[in-house]
Amino acid sequence: MKVKTQSKKVNKAWLNDHVNDTYVKLAQKEGFRSRAAYKLKEIDETLGLIKPGNLVVDLGSAPGAWSQYVRRRLSPQGAATGMLNGQILALDLLPMEPVEGVQFLLGDFREADLLARLEVLLAGRRVDVVVSDMAPNLSGIDSADAARISHLVELALEFSQKHLTSEGALVAKVFHGGAYAPLVKEFKNRFKMVKPFKPKASRDKSSETFLVGVGVKNAPLA
């Protein structure tokens, strides 16, 4: 009973914090599906990554807040609907409600079949920006979690190395812990500029941060 009561208190405290969260309220007001939109917004506004006319790939896109933000950045009027100057390809293991102008693929990025479907949509065109909010289900076992995190980020890195333009960028969610330092090193091996970023919208208690790589080293010729 004590455990159950404590759990209820924890859940109630989390719900209270969530309901009163500034970014949750802002997301509701501005029509974003989650507060995560403001993480990408701050990164993008600071570094100027996403520009009209870009081809952007959103990895781990559900529920769609990052795709929504990108869609507004590629709209001449910054609108959530209407004209779109650019292309957005999104994918996730989980279903995602449609976002106007976004082509969505349902599937596992770790599987060759999904990657092949994504490459068909690319039709040989280079990607300007890859954004990855992919994260594994964490077990609490540090070594296992570090391996799962590393695998997803490495897949995003490999995709970016192959498909980004020479001046393209990758934004990837990572977590502080055993996998962090090796991933930073891998980013530096692959990108000319690497910047860790902890957006204000990322909760203080969360170990998440974002690694941004800009300018692909040894990019393949188009």
pLDDT in tens, 171-196: 999 988 878 899 999 999 999 999 99
Query: In whole angstroms, what is the distance from residue 180 CA to residue 215 CA?
Result: 21
Where on the phi/psi map is residue 100: left (φ > 0), alpha (ψ -120 to 50), or beta? beta
Indicate if 39 belongs to the active site. Answer: no
SS3 221: coil
pLDDT > 70: percent of the chain: 85
Average of pLDDT values for 199-206? 86
Average of pLDDT values for 51-71? 97
pLDDT > 90: percent of the chain: 71
Q: Of 173, 185, 195, 200, which is the active-site residue?
A: 173
Tens of pLDDT, residues 124-180: 999 999 999 998 776 666 666 677 888 999 999 999 999 999 999 999 999 888 788
Q: What are phi and psi of 87, to 5 degrees?
A: -140, 140
Average pLDDT taken over every residue of the chain: 88
pLDDT at position 138:
67
pLDDT at position 1:
39
Among candidates 147, 151, 160, which has minimal Cα distance to 191? 160
Tens of pLDDT, residues 4-41: 445 554 465 445 555 568 899 999 999 999 999 999 99
